[in-house]
Amino acid sequence: MPIAMGAYCLLGFVMLSRRIDFSARPKVAAHYVVDSAISSCFGAVICSSWCVLSWLYAPADDRLQFPIILVMGALATAYCLANVRIGAIANLVIDLLPISLLLVTSGRTLDFAAGCSLLFAGLFQWRMINAHQRHVLDLLQLKKQNRTLALTDPLTGLLNRRALQDFADALGDDREPARLLLIDIDRFKAINDAHGHDMGDEVLVRVAQIIDGFSGNNVSAARLGGEEFALLGSNADLPPATALQLLAAVREADMPHGQQVTISVGIAEGMLNHEDGWQRLYTDADRALYEAKNTGRNRFCHIKEIDEGQPRRRAADLPVPSAAA
SS3 state of residue 301: strand
Beta strands per DSSP E along 87-199: 178-185
Q: Are 244 and 320 in contact (CB under 8 A)?
A: yes
- In angstroms, rounded to a whole number, what is the distance separating the alpha carbons of residues 266 and 303? 7
Q: Which amino acid is at 132?
A: H
Task: Report the DSSP pairing between strands 178-185 and 263-270.
Answer: antiparallel
- In angstroms, rounded to a whole number, what is the distance separating the alpha carbons of residues 282 and 288? 10
Q: Which amino acid is at 96?
A: L
Q: Are 71 and 96 in contact (CB under 8 A)?
A: yes
Pick the closest to residue 313 from 249, 282, 267, 280 (CA basis). Answer: 267
Residue 227 catalytic?
yes
Kindly name the residue from 227, 228, 269, 291 that is annotated as catalytic. Answer: 227
Helix (H) or strand (E) holding 118: helix 109-151
Helix (H) or strand (E) holding 92: helix 85-104
| Active-site annotation, residues | 227
